[in-house]
Amino acid sequence: MARSDTLLIVADSERDADMLYATGFFSTDPFVYLRIDGQARVYLQDAELDRARRQVVGCEVGALSEHHPGCDDDRRPAHFAAVIRAVLKRTGRRRVTVPASFPAGMSRELRRLNLKVKVAKGAVFPAREIKTSAEVKKISAALTMAEVGLSEGIEALRRAQIGRDRSLHLLHSPLTSERLRGIIESAVAHAGGTAVRTFVSCGRQSGHPLERGSGPLKAGEPIILDVFPRSQKTGYHADLARTVVKGRASEAVRRLFDTVKTGQKLALGLLRDGVLAAGIHRAVADYFVREGFETGVRRGRFEGFFHPTGHGLGLELHEQPNLSESSRHIVRAGQVLAVEPGLYYPGVGGVRLEDVVLVEAGRCRNLTKFEKELEV
């Protein structure tokens, strides 16, 4: 969208990445952001004003109640719309551009007040895709939180005892996906992050890439650990996955692991400024096929390599570009990507390895320090 457009966002910055990017301010309650002639302004409830004046970056700060008294304690779309109309009236504006995620009810109220609402065709902050050095440091800090959690999880697996039925026990109690998830997420929290829906999937469950995992963990089977915390301080995300086996891995799992590890190395070697995102994915998929790992549907379910090679990372867990077969994106220097090839087969299980990297002019720099060991 053009810089000259009047940009409007109404959202809470705890969940809306654009609002957090625009203001640098965390709020669980929705507020108003308006950019008019390049000048950004935010309007919040009275209780937030003092904190906002200290913490909001690059914006003038005003009170919602100055323009509509009822909006301070009753934040219905109609009240927000009245505030927005009052502000725009003073500047002679009647048209706003909003993000694609803008609330439909709010749009309806604005149009009822004879304001024109235009939905932006692309990102309202295209600069979000290219990370500054400060943003890279924030993502790296979140990645450290993920590594702390993953380290605690793998250490718990190392200390676990193997029972007669290959089930794992820790401190004389069964070690389940749920219990190991709690260990990982507690460690992340102590490090300053919030981890939710962490993946701990074992055996057959690991053959489904989006399976969180449940029930007892067993020795000799692949266990996918995928941790994607958000920094409580900055709002930036990390994304880190490893696949491990407690005890001895089968030859089939070992071959899966080695192939995925080499496939990821191939992707990292191709990542640099100016390359086609789809080309990277195809190179990894073609390599897997050459190694004998076909992708397709068998008995009604997908197997092989059937998710993107990676995705952008930042204030949202999944950002542009997308490293997939259908992607039209071009990789650019300054993008931060999570690179996560994987192979999944019902009879064997799955293997996924994921690192976070920074794209540079002639290469990519791996921000991840965590080792890749199959057997623990």
Tell me the torsion sign for CA atoms 182, 185, 188, 189.
Answer: negative
Over the stretch 256-277, which tens digit does the pLDDT of each residue have?
Answer: 999 999 999 999 999 999 999 9
Q: Tokens at residue 165, please?
A: 């039925």
Q: Is 81 helix (H, G, I), strand (E, B) or coil?
A: helix
Q: How far apart are CA 76 and CA 255, in angstroms?
A: 57
Sign of CA dihedral 211, 215, 221, 224: positive
Judged by DSSP in three states, 99 sits in coil
Question: What pLDDT does residue 74 have?
Answer: 66
Instruction: Note whether 28 and 14 are within 8 A (CB).
Output: yes
Residue 301 burial by Cβ neighbours in a 10 Å radius (0-12, 13-18, 19+): exposed
Bridge pairing between strands 60-63 and 39-44: parallel
Name the strands in the sheet holding 161-162, side by side, starting at the edge strand that comes first in the sequence. 161-162, 168-170, 173-174
Give the pLDDT confidence score for residue 2 in this predicted structure: 64
Digit-coded pLDDT (tens) for 114-142 = 999 999 999 999 999 999 999 999 999 99
The C-alpha atoms of residue 81 and residue 101 are separated, in whole angstroms, by 17
**pTM given for the model:** 0.95
Residue-level pLDDT at 164: 87
Tens place of pLDDT per residue across the chain (376 aa): 666 689 999 999 999 999 999 999 999 999 999 999 999 999 999 999 999 999 999 999 999 988 877 776 666 888 899 999 999 998 899 999 999 999 999 999 999 999 999 999 999 999 999 999 999 999 999 999 999 999 999 999 999 999 989 999 999 999 999 999 999 999 999 999 999 999 999 999 999 999 999 999 999 999 999 999 999 999 999 999 999 999 999 999 999 999 999 999 999 999 999 999 999 999 999 999 999 999 999 988 999 999 999 999 999 999 999 999 999 999 999 999 999 999 999 989 999 999 999 999 999 999 999 999 999 9
